[in-house]
Amino acid sequence: MSAITRADVEHLGRLARLNLTPEEIDNFAGQLDVILTSVARISEVAADDIPPTSHPIPVENVYREDVVRPGLLRADVAAGAPAWEDDRFRVPRILGEA
């Protein structure tokens, strides 16, 4: 028995503001049913004594020392900018802001 009906797909399509053809509705109904069946099978396997995890192996942060390195020279940055004004990039005004 299908868990997803044509009516379900039509409803989801309306919520998503999609104009679905009858062929797409049939296609999506089948695909969504396969997805829900697969999720249900996975849920059957999950045991209560196994904690949820985000990674199959332990993950730990690897830190490195902060090292001060020279950055770009302001004059070099200004030379490569299409427009430069008052030590800043000049960009076009957007959204009519003053």
Q: Domain-by-domain residue ranges, the chain?
A: 6-45
User: In 1-98, which ranges are continuous DSSP H helix?
Assistant: 6-15, 22-45, 74-80
Q: Kindly report the CATH number that applies to the domain delimited by 6-45.
A: 1.10.20.60
The conformational region for residue 53 under phi > 0 = left, psi -120 to 50 = alpha, else beta, is: beta
pLDDT tens per residue, range 56-71: 888 888 898 999 999 9
What is the residue type of 84? W
**Model pLDDT, residue 45:** 78
pTM of the model: 0.46
Of 43 and 39, which is predicted with more confidence?
39
CB within 8 A of 87, min separation 6: which ones? Answer: 74, 78
pLDDT tens per residue, range 80-93: 889 999 989 998 88
Q: Strand, helix or coil at 85?
A: strand
Distance from C-alpha of 7 to C-alpha of 48, rounded to nearest angstrom: 35
